[in-house]
Amino acid sequence: MSNILPRSAIAATNHGNKIKIYFQAYNGLLLETYTDDGTNFHRSKDPLPTPSKPKTFTPIAAVSYHEGREVRVYYLTTDFHVQELAWSQGKGWYPGELNNLNVQTASYTRLAVVHYEEKFRVYYQRASDNKILEIVNDGPKWVHGSTLPEASPGTELTADRTPDGHLRVIYQGRDFSTRQVTTRNNWGDDHEIVNARTYPGSAFSLINIDPSKVDLRLYTSEKNDSNNYGELANTGGEVHAWSGIQTLGKGIPLTKIAVVTWGSPVQAIRVYTQAEGNDIHEQRWGEGANWRAGHHIPTA
């Protein structure tokens, strides 16, 4: 029996085919499912020891680094503060330093995180004007960073770095258009992704699939009644270079999406959504084959 909350946030991290997936259970706790070989998934015995209770339907963002020896998970408390939960190999889980900053968000915010140049950058939405804000760690201390454009209330947020030295954040604008803002011109490069024909509240998951060049993929819900999700590709980085959407599969209505990849050039891509029956579904590409259904992801 599935234990994942319907329409739970889904976050995933990896080092090669060692993958960790995070989601929220019916009782509100955050859970982890993992694999050490890319094939056999197991649910961790204990829930994550969150320092404060997560809100129901909390957003979840996660990132790993130092070859998977470090993991950071971000979520929202019942009074809408960003919390950081850290994991270090040999130490286990412990509260992160971000919690000392006492970051208040909009009640409906989503979260995104990037690890870039040995710094974490977390993105969230402010209630007063719906602008996207950035917080950055400066060594052990967290500070407020850049202010990004105004977005539709509750927009999904997703972000990644590219080898050209830029960061990108994907969000929905006030008119619900799908938009890409980058660090060019101090976050002044903000344009619509015309081919991403999405609906209000669509899920997004962005990743650069090749560490040697700009080769972006955006996974998102399709604007139709079929509950399909798909992939847009961008091999140059410019906003006009996004392809049309390629349908990959079908999820439950309003499913969230997470993605991991590995290899240079890219060897494998794994996309995670919530399927009928509320299980997490894996769609996989690579290792000598095109897109196909992947492995069972246990949530109970």
Which residue ranges make up each domain of the chain? 10-297
CA distance 218 to 184: 19
Residue 180's contacts (CB-CB under 8 Å, 6 or more residues apart) are 168, 169, 170, 190, 191, 192, 193, 239
Residue 118's contacts (CB-CB under 8 Å, 6 or more residues apart) are none
DSSP classification of residue 45: S
The secondary structure of 126-187 as a DSSP string is -TTT-EEEEEEEETTEEEEEEEEEE--TT---EEEE-TTS-EEEEEE-TT--EEEEESTTTT
Q: CB–CB of 83/76 below 8 Å?
A: yes
Backbone dihedral angles phi then psi of residue 2, each to the nearest 5 degrees: -70, 145
131: left (phi over 0), alpha (psi -120 to 50) or beta: beta
CA distance 279 to 288: 26
pLDDT value for 1: 61
Backbone dihedral angles phi then psi of residue 85, each to the nearest 5 degrees: -120, 125
pLDDT value for 296: 84
10-297 CATH fold: Neuraminidase (2.120.10)
pLDDT value for 108: 98
CA distance 184 to 164: 11
pLDDT along the chain (300 residues), means of 10: 90 97 97 95 96 97 95 98 97 97 97 94 98 93 96 97 94 95 92 90 95 94 86 89 94 94 92 90 93 91
- At 97 the three-state DSSP class reads helix
- At 184 the three-state DSSP class reads coil
Nearest one of 95, 50, 96 to 77, comparing CA atoms: 50
Q: What pTM value is reported for the model? A: 0.97
DSSP classification of residue 2: -
pLDDT value for 292: 95
pLDDT value for 265: 86
CA distance 252 to 250: 7
Residue 33 sits at the vertex; the CA angle it makes with 32 and 38, to the nearest 5 degrees, is: 140
Nearest one of 198, 209, 157 to 175, comparing CA atoms: 198
CA-based torsion, 172, 173, 177, 179: positive or negative: negative
* Cβ atoms within 10 Å of 240's Cβ, excluding its own: 10
Question: 195 is written with which tokens?
Answer: 């081919």
Q: CB–CB of 124/107 below 8 Å?
A: no
Q: Could you check whether the bond before residue 140 is cis, i.e. omega within 30 degrees of 0?
A: no
Backbone dihedral angles phi then psi of residue 240, each to the nearest 5 degrees: -75, -10
Distances (CA, A) of 219 to 17, 193, 231, 232, 278: 20, 13, 5, 7, 19
How many helices (H) and strands (E) the chain has is answered by: 0, 24
